[in-house]
Structure 1
């Protein structure tokens, strides 16, 4: 049975699911929801984009008592971005349940507003292990009422060094609880590390392979010194509007970005150890099309939900076949077609053989020579340019205020304005590159304050804010 109506859910809950477009369960939902709704612990192997958030979201909402204002469900995620996505989806799923409060607790955000929100109570807390443990240490978060504990992307939380935090947090949850563990990969070391968290769990594995009709995979053999130039050549030949390039190390990420930028491509590197503010800015620039190429390590890219990604390039072959499958699954989403391009040096062929064994057939090899001649031409600039405004939620700025200033004072048409991201202290606005500087000048002219030392001010909502362009 793949219909949600086959589950023991209320009519109001089912009506909300239908309104959200949830009509038929995905494989991970069909396999995991029946045991979850029976109260069983669960280990589920499923990748991002498989519908896993709804799988555990419906399960934990089923257990929440809206009349009891305590933290009844805790969801731990590896990154701030994934925590925000999960919380937003839980709020959508909970629309039919009166007064359910979902609170996000992640690093990179001020503690004081989080503490104030916790004082008012929350039914569901979604957060990163480090910040959750901080709140426990300050005694601002009480886990004694947790009925459902979710570990989302458990393998990456462990890879990122969160295991000790997770173990300490799990110890503080009641022993009589339901634990749901979701992971794209589930190697033996993770299995042993998480064994103590679960009681007689049901195990569900959803096949991670992708249909060839959805994602076209091409492999290119290269020499040891050709890798970075080959990436540039692939980008010039296929001209993807947006692409993620995966490297196995942060050192290679930085080196490759330098090479690509020297050849005129708009590229940014995403790897571990970046400050949250830097990470936020990089992701905003990539998502709003002010940067076309994101060069990332696997750990740093985990939890990203980038829409309309045309291509994935593996600058290095992954030594883990499931990681390879997870990488390429970021393109060809939602029934669309995608392109996966993998570069392979002679010493990496053994890892390609493992991919062939995993997918049950040979990979499709292509010669680099079939690409357009490697001319010295540069990449095209990104279509958007991001305006950074030194004001955000703390200044009570909203996207509508910014859009109003741009279509009013700056005289822009709505179609020239892209995504508007409002953070605590800063706001990022994507503007059509062709008219961005004119819009900047008009906003500055509307301000009553003259800029000092090259900085400019713009008028928004009757107030003046410092602003600058971020060009990649």
Structure 2
């Protein structure tokens, strides 16, 4: 059954025109269920996973409430991680691009506080941030919420899991009581319900099915000996050769050890865990998202908020203790109608976890054999892209279009040979087809971006 079209909603003409220009015609399930209530200024608690279209739902809702002539903070989105905050900010900016003078700011840790404060002094309509940095700005009076109209809690369950309950309460205490509060969560735990009861007024409750169906993801379980787990992982990666794979480990130390071993054996791999500096974390995610690194070995906490398009496979190096965590892990593949692959290594001590997953998902486990494989040093499958680092960013007024223009203009690089472009405050990254990397590097070193020369090098962190 088709969902309604966006033109059926009472939206501002510029906002509706932009939505149509982005190719959006019909709403996703979560948008169809929540937007009519959001536009009626009702509080909403919605159960929806990453990839369901929830960001556009609350983004369109909050943009419809803004007074563009008043450079006061009128909407605030609280997210669990910097990566999710960046994604949310980019989508809201995209939705607002045909609306005059709308300013959206990201306020997260890992970026200079003083530059954020300076940006706030010039005014903003929407702020998107993590609880800690938002609270810091509120304490130092660089952020004021007396004009706030819409408050959004995105991935509320994850924020509570990460221990942010008290600081979220402190942040919300600065907001006006007469406001609209929208709460989005992948699960409806007791803690999430308590959060809703405390901060929402007669909320409309909405729940939609997960953004992927069980048959979108092929799940296979592999029985292995304890001392052959790494060899079995190497076999899976060498056999399936996925361009984009997340390998989940249960501990930070295991995560780093697995990544180091795979890298030593010629795989294109990066580790993502809580001990990484924010700058290193950004670089890891840039390379993985732009397909210049094929394998990301991650812990569950570090991967929160991770939303990578076209992820081909998820591998459980070790099964999680909670079957719901397993479902969240494998849900990162098989999205938007694409087929996904979920592979799990199972030792004897983990068989009870498989039984718990079967009971939770109400489906029997499919078991496959692992062929003998020796993990040693040799040339492996290379990613399709490489990443170029540019010593300039938003502080230099640089935009993705400026970098693309420099490459496709005098540089002679075809647009289809340029991949994802990420621009940060002081540096930028651009993905290039591997066989065109030397030409692109020479082009950017010899040429100019926005009339200036920048240092450019191949990223090999």
Same fold (TM over 0.5): yes
How far off its partner does 1:363 sit?
Answer: 2.3
Q: Which moved more, 1:297-306 or 1:41-50?
A: 297-306
- 2:64 alignment partner, SS class: helix
How far off its partner does 1:397 sit?
Answer: 4.3
How far off its partner does 1:232 sit?
Answer: 1.3
Going from structure 1 to structure 2, the CA distance change for 1:462 and 1:62 (only over 3 Å counts) comes to closer
Going from structure 1 to structure 2, the CA distance change for 1:202 and 1:344 (only over 3 Å counts) comes to farther
How far off its partner does 1:80 sit?
Answer: 2.1
- 1:361 alignment partner, SS class: coil
Going from structure 1 to structure 2, the CA distance change for 1:15 and 1:381 (only over 3 Å counts) comes to closer
Aligned length: 458
In structure 2, C-alpha distance between the alignment counterparts of 1:222 and 1:209, rounded to whole Å: 31
- 1:149 alignment partner, SS class: strand
Which residue does 1:426 correspond to in 2? Answer: 427
Which of 220, 223, 239 in structure 2 is aligned with 1:221? 223
Q: In the alignment, is the contact (CA less than 8 A) between 1:185 and 1:322 conserved in 2? A: no
Which residue does 1:383 correspond to in 2? Answer: 384
Which of 300, 306, 316 in structure 2 is aligned with 1:304? 306
Q: In the alignment, is the contact (CA less than 8 A) between 2:12 and 2:64 conserved in 1? A: no
How far off its partner does 1:409 sit?
Answer: 8.1
Q: Mind listing any 5+ residue stretches in structure 2 that lack a counterpart?
A: none
Q: Which moved more, 1:349-358 or 1:263-272?
A: 349-358
Q: In the alignment, is the contact (CA less than 8 A) between 1:33 and 1:59 conserved in 2? A: yes
**Alignment deviations for residues 347-406 of structure 1 (CA, whole Å, 9 cap, x no partner):** 22333223222322212221224xx75575542233333232333333444445555665
In structure 2, C-alpha distance between the alignment counterparts of 1:44 and 1:461, rounded to whole Å: 43
Going from structure 1 to structure 2, the CA distance change for 1:30 and 1:410 (only over 3 Å counts) comes to closer
Give matches, 1:56-455, under 5 Å: 56-95=58-97, 97-192=99-194, 195-208=197-210, 210-369=212-371, 376=376, 378-399=379-400, 402=403, 416-434=417-435, 436-437=437-438, 440=441, 446=446
Which residue does 2:458 correspond to in 1? Answer: 469
In structure 1, C-alpha distance between the alignment counterparts of 2:119 and 2:237, rounded to whole Å: 46
Q: In the alignment, is the contact (CA less than 8 A) between 2:212 and 2:335 conserved in 1? A: no
In structure 2, C-alpha distance between the alignment counterparts of 1:194 and 1:344, rounded to whole Å: 38
In structure 2, C-alpha distance between the alignment counterparts of 1:206 and 1:231, rounded to whole Å: 35
In structure 2, C-alpha distance between the alignment counterparts of 1:33 and 1:396, rounded to whole Å: 35
Q: In the alignment, is the contact (CA less than 8 A) between 1:394 and 1:425 conserved in 2? A: yes
Q: In the alignment, is the contact (CA less than 8 A) between 1:284 and 1:428 conserved in 2? A: yes
How far off its partner does 1:170 sit?
Answer: 0.7
- 1:317 alignment partner, SS class: coil
Going from structure 1 to structure 2, the CA distance change for 1:130 and 1:223 (only over 3 Å counts) comes to same
Q: Which moved more, 1:289-298 or 1:397-406?
A: 397-406
Aligned Cα root-mean-square deviation (Å): 2.9
- 2:302 alignment partner, SS class: helix
Q: In the alignment, is the contact (CA less than 8 A) between 1:78 and 1:153 conserved in 2? A: yes
In structure 2, C-alpha distance between the alignment counterparts of 1:251 and 1:34, rounded to whole Å: 47
**Alignment deviations for residues 221-256 of structure 1 (CA, whole Å, 9 cap, x no partner):** 223233222221111111111111112221221011
Going from structure 1 to structure 2, the CA distance change for 1:319 and 1:421 (only over 3 Å counts) comes to same
In structure 1, C-alpha distance between the alignment counterparts of 2:350 and 2:37, rounded to whole Å: 41
TM-score relative to the length of structure 1: 0.87
TM-score relative to the length of structure 2: 0.89
**Alignment deviations for residues 24-74 of structure 1 (CA, whole Å, 9 cap, x no partner):** 222222222233333332222211000111222232233333344321111
Q: Which moved more, 1:352-361 or 1:243-252?
A: 352-361
Q: In the alignment, is the contact (CA less than 8 A) between 1:264 and 1:381 conserved in 2? A: no
Q: In the alignment, is the contact (CA less than 8 A) between 1:409 and 1:443 conserved in 2? A: no
Which residue does 1:451 correspond to in 2? Answer: none
In structure 2, C-alpha distance between the alignment counterparts of 1:31 and 1:393, rounded to whole Å: 37
How far off its partner does 1:96 sit?
Answer: 5.7
Q: Which moved more, 1:223-232 or 1:335-344?
A: 223-232
In structure 2, C-alpha distance between the alignment counterparts of 1:373 and 1:310, rounded to whole Å: 22
Q: Which moved more, 1:387-396 or 1:160-169?
A: 387-396
Q: In the alignment, is the contact (CA less than 8 A) between 1:209 and 1:359 conserved in 2? A: no
